[in-house]
Amino acid sequence: MTILRTAPLLSFPKPLIDDFPATVLANTALGNDVYLLTLKLAQGLHQQEAFSCLAGQFFMLELSPSSSDSVGVPSFDFRRPFSPLLFDETTQELLIYYKVVGDGTRRMSHLSVGNKVQIMAPLGNALGEGVNPAKTLLVGGGVGVAPLVYWASQQKANGLPAPVLVWGSRFGSDLDALRPQLADVFPPEKVLLASDDGTVGEKGTVIDLIKQHQTVWAETIETIVVCGPTPMMKACVAYFSEAFPKATVLVSLENHMPCGTGACFGCVVENANPDGLPLRVCYEGPVFEASQLVWEAKQPCHH
């Protein structure tokens, strides 16, 4: 089978970036240091437009001085990057699915109803129209599932079919906690779960689970999008290049980002093209074709 693509897999919109004030509606602990933050967004401060973020793009979250007073823990030195999990255009409610890994996310976990925060968006590149959801496999590890769910939700909003999601986590309870949000986006037969502790879904890794469907999927899947911890992404890229040689593998990187806007070069990764410049995850990415990157080198990641 030869795959012919007429539309690009990645798009590089560089719209005007704005700051959006937001109010915390809920900040729910889901267990195992994982939280679901619901924000109500106001229109952008400078362009007076409503928030928008294409699938693949991200935003930088900043805790405002008023929330720092009430949270009472050390300040959020830089803004921190996050992907939307879901966004409701009608209510302007944004869901962030996050894990506490350091000071910034610990401060986030102390946010309470009514606290004010601000987000800067939209940032980074986006998945293009060449990604056909009916022939796409989404592979998530831990909180790396967020951008994948967001992309699938946008396909659904556009009346397109759901992709298949394979999502793995250390704890089955993390998978269970997000079932309501997954059910809003995917039909049940399109969601396959794997947990290290074996309490929900298959016991083992996402690769163990995908191997069970490899024969069928290797013929039908055109695009694979992976987001998760660095070791998981490395293992996936190696496995897919052998087992799914006809598919294009895209990775969504979640590197540390001091500025998020392409200015500081604090987020660069090595370019597989030896003549190419290092790639800024926040500007040329965060979504890359796996073949653009050097996988032997360590890619930073928090999860």
Q: Which is nearer to ligand FAD, 278 or 300 (CB)?
A: 300
CA angle 227-20-102, nearest 5°? 45
Q: Is 263 in the site for ligand FES (CB under 6 A)?
A: yes
Binding segment toward ligand FAD, per CB under 6 A, in 1-9, 17-25, 81-89, 183-191? 81-89
Q: Is 146 in the site for ligand FAD (CB under 6 A)?
A: yes
Q: Is 259 in the site for ligand FES (CB under 6 A)?
A: yes
Closest residue to ligand FAD, Cβ-based? Answer: 102
Least distance in angstroms from the C-beta of 268 to ligand FES = 7
| Residue 259 binds which entry of ligand FES, ligand FAD, none, CB below 5-8 Å type-dependent | ligand FES
**Which residue among 267, 279, 290, 301 contacts ligand FES (CB under 6 A)?**
267
**Which residue among 83, 125, 132, 136 contacts ligand FAD (CB under 6 A)?**
83
Q: Is 103 in the site for ligand FAD (CB under 6 A)?
A: yes
Mark 281-300 with x for binding to ligand FES (rule: CB under 6 A) and - for no binding: -x------------------
| Residue 286 binds which entry of ligand FES, ligand FAD, none, CB below 5-8 Å type-dependent | ligand FAD
Residues that bind ligand FAD (CB under 6 A): 58, 80-83, 97-99, 101-105, 143, 146, 254-257, 286, 300-302
Contact positions vs ligand FES (CB under 6 A): 257-260, 262-267, 280, 282
